[in-house]
């Protein structure tokens, strides 16, 4: 009797079609990436599941990243799809410890898209790139039929150079590391929700979309022992910490009361039934540094406007690959990923 091969490229509990949750930064997205994409293209660089690939070429190290932006609405309080695409790509390079140098941009336009809005978005991209001292050097444009692209999608890629010898990655996280959060969380997701659903608050909430290279560069220039960096986008703080705990095999212990959330964001989350630790951000990151350098790291970050609320939120513990959070009333819970994003089309 011939042997039957029962190997399956996907776990049996997977869906047969793609869901919105597969792009939301949660469990479903991680399963899709690991079980289909990484399995097909498997190599050591891709396997690290970092914000970008770090490539060594002769005596230099470069970072390479790519991202796509499908946000709805295209313009929101605090930014638009153009500035967001530049900031997001720069931030992925920064999380690799790389100085951003060059970007590409590709546009998928829908027939009937207004030229005035397109020009506004292009100008926003250029202004964001100039402010970050990066150059957009190549790109592509495609137009699809009316109703096929929700107006505009943008894809970007970025190249940066590492000017230090640190290995900034999840595998560099060490037991005892301090976990530093660069600022208050949840503003981007709530700003998008308000814009999308026509909600109004007493204090209007703006997205935190911002480039993060300058504060990160300052940490390197001060020769701090940085082990890992991760920006908080889809899935928010919780998903980023869970990914890093899983990748490093270590536990991360945090305190809920240490995590800054603006009063208006906390109020909106309470009304909408959201947990702020899962709400998307576009200008926040976590840094894993030696415990002895925690206070100095916070002091340095607070010099920058986008990091004025930087703080210590926890430490790395023994092996286990889990995230634990001490609640405001003293209990402890395990933090896990959501299946998908609380709010789709967020970036």
Mind listing the pLDDT tens digit for each residue in 208-257? 999 999 999 999 999 999 999 999 999 999 999 999 999 999 999 999 99
pLDDT of residue 274: 94
Count the neighbouring beta carbons within 10 Å of the beta carbon of residue 244. Answer: 24
- 106 with 188, same domain: the answer is no
Choose the final residue of a domain: 99, 129, 162: 162
Choose the final residue of a domain: 162, 182, 199: 162
Full residue range of the structural domain in which residue 226 is found: 170-335
pLDDT of residue 5: 41
CATH number for position 94? 3.30.1330.10
* Residue 28 placed within a domain: no
Question: What residues in the chain have per-residue pLDDT under 70?
Answer: 1-14, 340-341
- 215 with 329, same domain: the answer is yes
280 near 238, Cβ under 8 Å? Answer: no
pLDDT of residue 14: 65
* Residue 42 placed within a domain: no
Burial class (CB in 10 A: 0-12, 13-18, 19+), 235: buried
Using CA atoms, how far apart are residues 243 and 260, in angstroms rounded to an integer?
21
Return all residues near 342 (Cβ < 8 A) that are at least 6 apart: 189, 274, 275, 278, 279
26: its two tokens: 């949660």
């Amino acid at each position: 009797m011939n042997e039957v091969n029962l190997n399956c490229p996907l776990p049996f509990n997977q869906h047969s079609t793609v869901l919105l949750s597969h792009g939301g930064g949660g469990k479903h997205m991680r399963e899709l990436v690991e079980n289909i994409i990484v399995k097909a293209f498997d190599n050591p660089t891709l396997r690290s599941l970092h914000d970008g690939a770090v490539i060594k070429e002769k005596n230099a190290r470069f970072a390479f990243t790519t991202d796509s932006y499908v946000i709805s609405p295209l313009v929101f309080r605090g930014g638009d799809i153009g500035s967001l695409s530049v900031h997001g790509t720069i931030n992925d390079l920064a999380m690799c410890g790389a100085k951003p140098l060059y970007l590409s941009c590709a546009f998928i336009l829908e027939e009937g898209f207004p030229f005035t809005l397109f020009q506004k978005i292009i100008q926003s991209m250029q202004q964001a790139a100039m402010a970050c001292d990066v150059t957009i050097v190549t790109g592509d444009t495609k137009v699809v039929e009316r109703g096929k692209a929700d107006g505009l999608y943008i894809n970007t890629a970025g190249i940066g150079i590492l000017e230090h010898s640190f290995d900034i990655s999840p595998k560099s996280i060490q037991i005892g590391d301090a976990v530093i959060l660069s600022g208050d969380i949840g503003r981007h997701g709530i700003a998008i929700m308000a814009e999308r659903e026509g909600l109004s608050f007493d204090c209007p909430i703006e997205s935190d979309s911002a480039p993060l290279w300058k504060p990160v560069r300052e940490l390197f220039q001060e020769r701090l022992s940085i082990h890992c960096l991760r920006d908080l986008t889809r899935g928010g703080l919780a998903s980023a910490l869970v990914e890093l705990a899983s990748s490093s095999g270590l536990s991360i212990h945090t305190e809920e009361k240490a995590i800054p959330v603006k009063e208006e964001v906390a109020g909106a989350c309470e009304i909408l039934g959201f947990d702020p630790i899962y709400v998307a951000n576009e200008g926040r990151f976590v840094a894993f540094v030696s415990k002895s350098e925690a206070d100095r790291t916070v002091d340095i970050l607070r010099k920058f406007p986008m990091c004025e609320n930087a703080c210590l939120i926890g430490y790395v513990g023994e092996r286990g690959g889990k995230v634990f959070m001490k609640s405001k009333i003293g209990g402890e819970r395990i933090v896990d990923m959501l299946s998908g994003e609380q709010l789709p089309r967020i970036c």
